[in-house]
Amino acid sequence: MNKAFETNTYQNLFVAYGYDEAEVATRMKNIWETIFFGSDEDKFYFEVGDDMGYVTDTGNNDVRSEGQSYAMMAAVQMDDKDVFDRVWKWTKTYMWMDYGVHAGYFAWSTQLDGTKNAHGPAPDGEEFFAMALFFASKRWGDGEGIFNYSEQAREILHACLYNEHPMWNHDNKLIKFIPEVEFSDPSYHVAAFYELFALWANEGDRPFWKEAAAASRAYLEIACHPVTGLNPEYGNYDGTPNYSRERHHWFYSDSYRVALNIGLDHVWFGPNEALTRAMERQQKFFFETNPGELNNYIYEVDGTRVDESILHPEALIATNAAASLATSEGSAPEQARFFVEKFWNTPLRKGDRRYYDNFLYLFCFMALSGNYRIWK
C-alpha cells in the first residue's frame, strides 16, 4: 500500500467495498453536522458568545482536553475554521495552565463554565492539540497571538518534553498515562503524529519525535496480546497490563482507540507487518466471539470475559472497522470487510454516553472514507 504522506492519495474503503461514493460523502457530512450542529439530544458542541465554543463529555458533564483536542482535529479535517478557532480560544482561556508544576499544559477536566476540576493534564490532549494546530497552520495559514497555530504547536510539544514533569519518558521515548507516573496508556500512542512532529517541532526536539514514533510502534506490538490482539487500558513499559488501578488492566474503553491509531498509521506512513497481524488477531477474536450487532462484554487481554457490561459498544464497532485500514489486504480480508459493513449499518449513539462513542465514530468514518488526512 502507498504511503499517503508521499502520494497524497487516500483510499475510500467504503467505496472499495461497493458503497456509493455520493452516499458516503453525504453520510460523512451528516455525522459532522449531527455532532456539532444537531439537536441538543444529539450534539455535544456548544458555542459561547461570539468567539468561543466547547465540547461536553455527556457522560460526565464536564469539558475535557481530550474532547477539545478531538473537536479541533475534526474541525480542521472538515475545513471549519470557525469551530476550530472557537474551541481553541475556549481551551486557551480556561484549560491552559501558565504557572505551577504543570505550566504549559492543559487541565484535563473543567466544568462547563471553565472552572478547572483538576490542575493535572492528560497527554493525549496535548498531542492532539499539537497535531491539529500544525494541520491548521498548513491548511489555513498562521494568524497572530494564540492563532499563530504552528508556534502554539511547537510550544506545546516543547513543554511535553521539558516541563518539570515531562509527558514522555526520555529514556524509552514512550508517552506516559500522566506525567507523574511511569506507565503508559497504549491508546495514547499515535506514531503517525510523531512522524510529523519530527518534521515540524522545534528543530532541537525533532530527533526525539522520530525515535518516539519507532518506540511507539514497537510498544504497541508488545502491548497487543499475542493470541487475541487485545491491549489493556493502562500498560507497563514492557507491554503487560498495569494493575495499579482497578479495571484498567482490561481491554476497556481507552483500549479501543489503538485499532484506529494503527489503521491511521498504516494509511499515512505505510504498513507495519507486526501491527497488521495484531489487528488481524483482534478482528478474529471479535469475529469468532461475538459477531452480533453490539458486543456487550468486557474482556481481559487474554480473552477471558469479565462479568460486567461494556460502556461504549458503538466505539468498539467503529474502531474494529478502522482496524480494516491495516487488515483489508492481509490474510483475512473477509474479516476486514465484515467489520466495515457492521460499522456502516450501525447508527450514531444516542443518550448520555454518546460523546465518546460518537467522536470515535466520526474519526473512524473519516479515516475509512479517506477524509482523515495529512495537511502539509
What does the pLDDT look like over 238-271, one tens digit per residue? 999 999 989 999 999 999 999 999 999 999 999 9
- Of the listed ranges 147-156, 178-187, 261-270, 326-335, the least confidently predicted one is 326-335
Domain assignment present for 338: yes
Contacts of 373 (CB under 8 A, 6+ apart): 4, 10, 77
Mean pLDDT along residues 29-38: 98
**Residues, the chain:** 376
Is residue 332, in this structure, part of any structural domain at all?
yes
HSE, side-chain direction, 13 A CA sphere, residue 165? 16
With respect to residue 365, please indicate whether it lies within any of the assigned structural domains.
yes
| CB atoms closer than 10 angstroms to residue 302 | 12
How many domains would you assign to the chain? Answer: 1
- Domain containing 36 equals 1-43+227-376
Give the C-alpha separation, 63 to 48, whole Å: 13
Asked if residue 286 has pLDDT above 80, the reply is yes
Whether 154 maps to a domain, the answer reads no
> What residues contact residue 348 under an 8 Å CB cut-off, 6+ apart?
31, 34, 35, 42, 314, 354, 357, 358, 361
CATH number at residue 348: 1.50.10.10
DSSP state of 108: S
pLDDT at 293: 52
CA angle (127 as vertex; 122, 131 as ends), nearest 5: 150
Q: Which amino acid is at 150?
A: S
User: Residue 192: inside a domain, yes or no?
Assistant: no
The residues annotated as belonging to the active site are: 66, 254
In a domain, 266, yes or no: yes
Side chain identity at 89, as an amino acid letter? K
Tell me the per-residue pLDDT of 114-140, one tens digit each, with 9 for 90 and over.
999 999 999 999 999 999 999 999 999
Residue 94 lies in a domain: no
**Which residues are within 8 A (CB) of 232 and not within 5 positions of it... i.e. 6 or more apart?**
186, 223, 240, 241, 242, 248, 249, 250, 251, 252, 255, 301
pLDDT band of residue 59 (cuts 50, 70, 90) is: very high
0.85 surpassed by pTM:
yes
Does 71 reside within a domain? Answer: no
Q: What is the CA radius of gyration of the chain?
A: 19
What is the reported pLDDT for 2?
A: 73
Q: What is the pLDDT of residue 347?
A: 97
